[in-house]
Amino acid sequence: MTTADAVTTTAPVPTQSTYQNRVADYWNAEENPVNLELGKLDDLYHHHYGIGDVDLAVLDYPDPVRRRDRITAELHRLEHAQAELLASRLGPLSPGDRVFDAGCGRGGGSVVAHLRYGCEADGVTISAKQAEFANAQARKRGIDDLVRYHHRNMLDTGLPSGAFAASWNNESTMYVELDLLFAEHARLLRRGGRYAVITGCYNDTYGQASREVSLINAHYICDIHPRSAYFRAMARNRLVPVHVEDLTAAAIPYWELRKQADHLVTGIEDTFLTAYRNGSFQYLLIAADRV
């Protein structure tokens, strides 16, 4: 079992563009309750959305404090279910394997993979603040010898080639060029290694990006890719899809509940719901093998 690069949080981030510097600034400053309050429940901090059926009983509590707490817990349950679904598509893995979390945020996904498989995990984020936070959480859990977070660019990680059995992006591909990203995943993965991604993408059959997709881009300072771009870029970078799953319908209940969480709303909830329902925006899981 390798423990190389155990402490790498001070590595310089390559300057790719002014845009990426803006993204780093955004996440260094971000203190959104919808990320922080949910993570406090079990110290698993996710930076993505949830899937699955909602327990609507959480809305029935007359006490506003109790109602708020139950809604928060339910949203976190749905987000964790999403992380577990992605992790389930990485295997089969063993404790001797090493996995890579690209755009790891505050680190929840790497912990989920480690707890599921016992494997080592390396997460990369362009945000120094997120890397510091995630490493502190790993130390708190006593797993920092196996789960490490690096302040680096996921397009140019400096991590060893062919060292990883699996890798993934969870709602982070919209911040980068797909060919550059998939080339780095192909470099890091061993032959036969598994790449998985869950992402929002705009539906090519709808036409160009819809008004709702443009609003989401502006809200998160991102650039949502068309669905077809993922498959073209994978084909150019030795990643062959083996499983594709449309999670759009499974994502709608999460957004319907979040819309009713007055303490967590960010103003983008109705936009997501409209985009999902009019068909212009989709939520996909793609798993691919590196050949």
Residue 250's Cβ-side half-sphere holds a number of Cα atoms within 13 Å equal to: 17
Q: Where are the domains of the chain?
A: 22-290
With CA atoms as reference, report the closest residue to 99 among 80, 85, 77, 115: 115
Alpha helices by DSSP H, listed for 221-247, are 227-236
The confidence score (pLDDT) of residue 23 equals 87
Assign domain 22-290 one CATH number from 3.40.50.720, 3.30.565.10, 3.40.50.150, 1.10.287.3510.
3.40.50.150
The confidence score (pLDDT) of residue 8 equals 42
Per the CB < 8 A criterion, the answer to whether 273 and 252 are in contact is yes
**pLDDT at residue 5 tops 60:** no
Q: What's the Cα-to-Cα distance from 152 to each of 47, 159, 173, 227, rounded to whole Å? A: 18, 10, 15, 27
Q: What is the DSSP letter of 1?
A: -
The confidence score (pLDDT) of residue 12 equals 54
Each residue of 173-185: b (16+ CB within 10 Å) or e?
Answer: bbbbbbeebbbbb
Q: What tokens does 208 get?
A: 């160009």
Each residue's pLDDT tens digit, 62-72? 999 999 999 99
Each residue's pLDDT tens digit, 90-102? 989 999 999 999 9
Burial class (CB in 10 A: 0-12, 13-18, 19+), 187: middle
CA atoms of 136 and 154, how far apart (whole Å) = 20
Each residue's pLDDT tens digit, 234-260? 999 999 999 999 999 999 999 999 999
Adjacent-strand bridge partners of 240: 289
- One-letter amino acid at 263 equals H
Residue 37 is inside which H or E element, if any? helix 33-39
Each residue of 28-47: b (16+ CB within 10 Å) or e?
Answer: eeeeeebbebbbeeeebbbb
Adjacent-strand bridge partners of 284: 199, 246
The confidence score (pLDDT) of residue 35 equals 72
Per the CB < 8 A criterion, the answer to whether 250 and 287 are in contact is no
Burial class (CB in 10 A: 0-12, 13-18, 19+), 290: buried
Residue 195's Cβ-side half-sphere holds a number of Cα atoms within 13 Å equal to: 29
Per the CB < 8 A criterion, the answer to whether 287 and 194 are in contact is yes
**Could you tell me if residue 243 is left (phi over 0), alpha (psi between -120 and 50 degrees) or otherwise beta?**
beta
Please compute the mean of the pLDDT values over residues 259-278 and round it to a whole number.
95
The confidence score (pLDDT) of residue 15 equals 56
Q: How would you classify the pairing of strands 98-102 and 164-170?
A: parallel
Q: What tokens does 172 get?
A: 């982070």
**pLDDT at residue 26 tops 80:** yes
Is the entire prediction scored with pTM above 0.85? yes
Give the pLDDT band of residue 9 (cuts 50, 70, 90): very low
